[in-house]
Amino acid sequence: MINRHATTRPRHQPTPTAVRVALLTTLLAVAACSAAGPGATTSPAAPTTSPAALSATPPPAEPSVQPTRVPARTPVIPPSTAPGKVGLPDMILDPVIADIAGKAGVPIDQVTIVSAESVTFPDGSLGCPVPGNVYIQVLVDGYKIVAEAGGKTYDYRGSGPGRFRQCDRAG
């Protein structure tokens, strides 16, 4: 009868290969979790492994970082001193006035600015949400322009030059 326990290791002692695999797996997990990101600091005493242990496995995959687009901040535009411009610059008012004149079918000199102001809106709807749309929930600096032309009142909201839309519901 052959004694099986005399030639094999007891079950509570792992094989050297299992120890290496467990150690390497732990090392890779710690390295992946402690990868330095923006503002992170690195420790001068980083753990090292032998070249033989590292050559047995492929290097860990780089974390996938997706770039995000950060909207450009609208530059601060000095107010116009032209009469009838209500303190907003021409580059803000002129395209809105031209659009209103076109919709009302009148010359631009027949568009009367009722109010034009810089506003900090409570969200991306600019105080004029369109039903069914979802808006970013942050404060948004922009403008509200109310004008009259052809017997009708027009309300425009925008966040900068060329970024205006007519608001059908006053808010």
120 within domain boundaries: yes
Helices (H), the chain: 4-7, 16-33, 51-55, 90-104
8 within domain boundaries: no
Q: Are residues 55 and 97 in the same domain?
A: no
Model confidence at 64: pLDDT above 80: no
Q: Are residues 101 and 159 in the same domain?
A: yes
Question: What's the CA gap between 163 and 171, in Å, rounded?
Answer: 18
Question: What's the CA gap between 39 and 42, in Å, rounded?
Answer: 10
* Residue-level pLDDT at 157: 96
**pTM recorded for the entire structure:** 0.50
Q: What is the pLDDT of residues 75-98, one digit of tens each?
A: 444 444 333 445 789 899 999 999
Strands 152-158 and 140-149: antiparallel
Q: Are residues 94 and 150 in the same domain?
A: yes
Could you give the 3-state DSSP secondary structure of residue 104? helix
Total structural domains within the chain: 2
b/e 139-169 (16+ beta carbons within 10 angstroms → b): ebebbbbbbebeeeebbbbbbbbeebeebee
85 within domain boundaries: no
Tokens of 56: 């047995």
Of 109, 112, 119, give the one whose Cα is nearest residue 153: 112
The range of the structural domain enclosing residue 18 comes to 14-35+46-61
5 within domain boundaries: no
Q: How far is CA 63 from CA 26, 34, 38, in A?
A: 17, 12, 14
Percentage of the residues of the chain whose pLDDT score is greater than 90? 43
Question: What's the CA gap between 97 and 143, in Å, rounded?
Answer: 14
55 within domain boundaries: yes
| Across 143-164, average pLDDT | 94
